[in-house]
Amino acid sequence: MNGKMNKEIPEIACYPKILDSDEIDGICRCDAYDAAFSRCNGTKERDFCSCRGDKRDCDFYPEQRAKTNESLVNSLVKKNANLISSGLELLGFIKEAMDDSCSESAPLSAGKPCITLEELFEKQKDNQNKMLNKGLYDSWRKVSTVEAPVDDVAIASYHIQQLVSEIGEVLEADKRWKNMRKDKCDIAGKKEEIADCFIVLMNIAMFSGMSGSDLAQAISEKIEKVARRID
């Protein structure tokens, strides 16, 4: 590329406005002006960068990473609002069943003591904090995120996407919902996949800054709201 073209690219505090029309879902076109190397046109010297056009991995502007992650999460949450609502209702039914099993009149299942939603949440919180300490979330988390529960929109968005995948695995384990080739019904596998959905939903709540008691209260209130709709 010649020097004249480089001078025509505006030097601003972020990605050039000249490229705005090419931006789609957090993807920039900074390297479109250089066939050999990726360069950041938002820096004065057009420095080499490794973002590969993904603003979430911007080498030079943390505010660009944060803004793009937030925008993508908001879009994802909006698209999956019904899914999240259904997930909360699923958690509600699970909690209701757990509460019934832990009542004084209910026998213990297979000799095992009952466990509350809050206790399950604490166990999962320990698992997630171990993952944080091992750096398994380093490519997603905020710099300030060192312990869960915490409001970290990037990690929460990761688990929202994971939930979509886990729900698909529930459908894969039991295909009786299909019009054709619907003979597969792996009840044990389905049970395990539903457990995965439950765990991931706890992760979403956990990385939205909620405690186990916060989640239990939200589920209880949702159950009451659904009951009023039915009545």
Q: What is the pLDDT of residues 168-212, one digit of tens each?
A: 999 999 999 888 888 899 999 999 999 999 999 999 999 999 999
131 pLDDT more than 70: yes
Question: What kind of fold does domain 80-230 have according to CATH?
Answer: Helix Hairpins (1.10.287)
Higher pLDDT, 31 or 131: 131
Domain extents for the chain? Answer: 1-61, 80-230
Tell whether omega for the bond before 149 is within 30 degrees of 0, i.e. cis.
yes
Please list the residues that pair with 54 across neighbouring strands. 27
pLDDT band at 88 (very low <50, low <70, confident <90, very high): low
d(CA 105, CA 30): 66
Higher pLDDT, 94 or 16: 94
